């Protein structure tokens, strides 16, 4: 089976392409055989988890990669134990591609955590969450899947009630020139990872802001506080290099419907928004981001109308998928991917141990970028920053986001 254009792009963008998710169980140390048994029971019938990438059979400009079915399902190959701590696993994972010649995923059993790593061509972030949920004690094991489920269908051709102007505006947003982060020179850029455990009382208070409004979602809080963090770390936009262009954050939006919510693969699009870095007030920044996020529904409809044609063209000409992927991976185009989600249905347990925290691992992007992901699990809020800037910049940005969230939480009714 040929890879879809999105999958092909993830393979051809010149990056390791590894994303991940971890489930933390304080005090638990799991038996490797027990974990492998659970993985066999819950994932063994998922054909997607058995796929292997095959190289093109001819010139890469004309031929794409293909998915080939693996030789059965052997958890011993993919599920291994390590004494590494979580941040160390993430630091290695973002920098190194997964081994070739076998399905591109692995599950690491670390002290007190399970860490699932996968190539983005195989799975997106929503798929990682779905798979992790399937391992929990109260999850219903899925029925065996057939070949159609192994290769996710393209997004259905929908023709939402959009005017041509709406589609045109979205195409202009996709191609608009943005700013890079004021990073160190390319030769000095180094990957770094930071996991920040946020104060739940601060987060509860921040989610009630603005006090005279409806409250804030996780996505809105992350975007607004990241804008504040960038201002704190690098100053207002006029002090940045590279002219008057806005700084764009990119937000993944899931295009799956209720009917295919559990489908594995790649089912998201990405919406770019200009962050309000020049606003001095944390509540003003939050309100601006709320207005921007409120438009996501209609903008997603535009993507549903645009994507089928773009994917069909890129699928027909494999090298074009790589060109598009590398173009979108440029720091000026996708400088910061910002994702936030809530782990619903808590409490969850794995082999009897209660889940305390879910920790995401965004992928590494080219030098001059930083990707962030915020997850709410029960009463725990966890932010992960993966940067490709100066050494340790992930920690600096993560701490600055935490400080801005405190400022949002402490704010009154005035937007300042």
| pLDDT per position as a tens digit, 13-46 | 888 999 999 999 999 999 999 999 999 999 999 9
pLDDT digit string, tens, across residues 221-231: 999 999 999 99
pLDDT digit string, tens, across residues 332-345: 888 999 999 999 87
**Token digits for 7?**
């999958």
What is the pLDDT at residue 247? 94
**Residues ≥6 apart with Cβ < 8 Å to 234:** 181, 182, 240
**Token digits for 93?**
């994972």
Assess contact for 118 and 49: CB atoms under 8 A: no
What is the pLDDT at residue 302? 83
pLDDT digit string, tens, across residues 198-217: 999 999 999 999 877 789 99
Q: What is the mean predicted confidence (pLDDT) over 380-409? A: 96
Q: How far apart are CA 408 and CA 285, in angstroms?
A: 10
What is the pLDDT at residue 190? 92
> Collapsing DSSP states into helix, strand and coil, what is residue 268?
strand
Neighbours of 338 (CB within 10 A): 22
| pLDDT at residue 177 tops 80 | yes
CA-nearest of 309, 263, 315 to 3 is 315
Q: Is 87 exposed, middle or buried (CB count within 10 Å of its CB: 0-12, 13-18, 19+)?
A: middle
> Collapsing DSSP states into helix, strand and coil, what is residue 373?
strand
CA dist 338 → 26, 253, 315, 392 (Å): 27, 10, 27, 19
Q: Rounded to two decimals, what is the model's pTM?
A: 0.91
Q: What is the mean predicted confidence (pLDDT) over 275-281? A: 95
pLDDT interval class at 144 (50, 70, 90): low
């Amino acid at each position: 089976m040929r890879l879809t254009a999105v999958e092909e792009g993830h393979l051809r963008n010149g990056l390791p392409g590894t994303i991940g998710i971890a489930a933390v169980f304080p005090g638990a140390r799991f038996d490797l055989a027990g974990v492998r048994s659970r993985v066999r029971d819950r994932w063994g019938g998922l054909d997607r988890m058995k796929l292997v990438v095959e190289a093109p059979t001819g010139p890469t400009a004309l031929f794409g990669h293909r998915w080939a079915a693996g030789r059965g399902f052997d958890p011993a190959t993919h599920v291994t134990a390590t004494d590494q701590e979580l941040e160390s696993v993430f630091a290695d994972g973002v920098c190194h591609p997964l081994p070739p010649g076998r399905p591109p995923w692995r599950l690491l059993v670390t002290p007190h955590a399970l860490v699932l790593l996968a190539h983005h061509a195989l799975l997106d972030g929503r798929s990682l969450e779905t798979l992790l949920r399937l391992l929990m004690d109260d999850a219903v094991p899925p029925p065996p899947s057939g070949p159609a489920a192994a290769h996710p269908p393209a997004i259905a051709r929908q023709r939402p009630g959009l005017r041509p102007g709406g589609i045109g505006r979205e195409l202009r947003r996709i191609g608009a020139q943005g700013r890079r982060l004021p990073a160190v020179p390319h030769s000095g850029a180094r990957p770094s990872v930071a996991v920040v455990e946020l104060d739940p009382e601060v987060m509860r208070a921040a989610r009630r802001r603005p006090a005279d409004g409806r409250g804030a979602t996780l996505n809105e809080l992350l975007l607004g506080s990241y804008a504040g963090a960038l201002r704190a770390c690098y100053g207002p936009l006029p002090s940045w290099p590279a002219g008057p262009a806005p700084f764009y954050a990119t937000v993944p939006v899931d295009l799956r419907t209720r009917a295919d919510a559990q489908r594995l693969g790649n089912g998201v699009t990405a919406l770019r928004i200009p962050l309000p870095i020049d606003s001095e007030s944390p509540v003003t920044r939050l309100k601006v981001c709320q207005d921007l996020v409120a438009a996501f529904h209609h903008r997603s409809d535009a993507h549903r109308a645009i994507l089928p044609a773009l994917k069909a063209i890129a699928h027909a000409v494999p090298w074009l998928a790589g060109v598009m992927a590398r173009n979108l991976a440029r720091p000026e185009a996708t400088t910061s991917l910002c994702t936030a989600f809530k782990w619903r249905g808590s409490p969850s347990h794995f082999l009897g141990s209660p889940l305390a925290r879910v920790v995401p691992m965004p992928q590494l992007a080219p030098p001059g970028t930083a990707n962030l992901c915020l997850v709410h699990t029960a009463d725990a809020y966890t932010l992960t920053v993966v940067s490709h800037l100066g050494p340790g910049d992930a920690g600096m940005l993560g701490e600055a986001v935490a400080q801005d969230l405190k400022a949002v939480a402490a704010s009154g009714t005035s937007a300042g």
